[in-house]
Chain A
């Protein structure tokens, strides 16, 4: 029972820490959302390329895979796994392992654009 609670606490703390890091970056540099997303995604790619992000995923579960750095981790991990199979895998491995996220984003956004009327922005 305690172990189950602990996995949620780990996910909460690590996920929250990554997001507050992004907020600190926003506060100090005034970067826009798009740039923040790119920076964190590339951070995930880099950390997995040197073999570190996998440990964070093992430790924090969804706390590490849900932030956009987890998307970068998937891209790098797929490329590394593909590279073991050959040159073709090295090039296609990244996007194949991240394909679920990209496909879901395209399909659900398409459906949302069909169903919902755009809302006026609050800010």
Chain B
């Protein structure tokens, strides 16, 4: 087979792949992400209401407790194997909420627990979520220092 024919066959094949792979999938996945993500946030709003109503929590304590409960739900559903199924269906809708953060910590912790608790579970726990802590803490220190230095000059 000479190069030209190969080239032709290759483009024809790529066109075929483009034609066959479902185009509606992309807009469909965005809608799925919207509904699942929105639903998780609505559940968060309901937890806020419950905590405020029953324990009278407010402000930072309310926001923190809501996160803790959602992270618990995320870890629990990951443990049952349900969250990966939601993720298969919802993509970004299950990754971006705090439950997705919980899933990204919990999933490797469970998976590597068979390799021992120190070098398996504990070491691999932050294999996905570690960058979030690293960049988050670094960014927050940067913001804090900028505000501190700006405060020195403005005061």
Contact = CB atoms under 8 A, between A and B. Distances in A.
Interface size class of A (residues with CB under 8 A): 35 or more
B60 interface: yes
Nearest to A12: B38
Given A16-B37, A101-B67, A108-B106, A62 B136 contact: no
B58 interface: no
B139 A45 contact: yes
A54 interface: no
Interface in A1-22: 4, 7-8, 11-22
B72 interface: yes
Interface string B54-70: 00000010011111101
B67 A84 contact: no
A81 to B, nearest CB: 9
B12 interface: no
Given A19-B97, A79-B140, 9 more contacts: A15-B97, A23-B29, A24-B92, A37-B100, A67-B97, A104-B68, A108-B102, A109-B102, A123-B88
Contacts of A61: 45, 48
B42 interface: yes
Interface of A: 4, 7-8, 11-27, 33-34, 36-38, 40-42, 45-46, 48-49, 60-63, 65-72, 74-76, 78-80, 82-84, 86-87, 89-91, 93-95, 97-98, 100-102, 104-106, 108-119, 121-123
Interface of B: 26, 29-42, 44-49, 60, 63-68, 70-72, 75-76, 78-81, 84-85, 88, 90-93, 95-102, 104-106, 109-111, 113-114, 121-122, 125, 128-129, 131-133, 135-137, 139-141, 143-148, 151
Contacts, number: 286
A119 B84 CA distance: 9
A122 B85 contact: yes
Given A12-B39, A97-B60, A19 B96 contact: yes
Contacts of A27: 26, 29-30
Contacts of A60: 41
A116 B84 CA distance: 14
Enumerate the 5 nearest inter-chain pairs by beta-carbon distance, A residue then B residue, closest first.
A19-B37, A15-B41, A94-B140, A16-B38, A79-B144
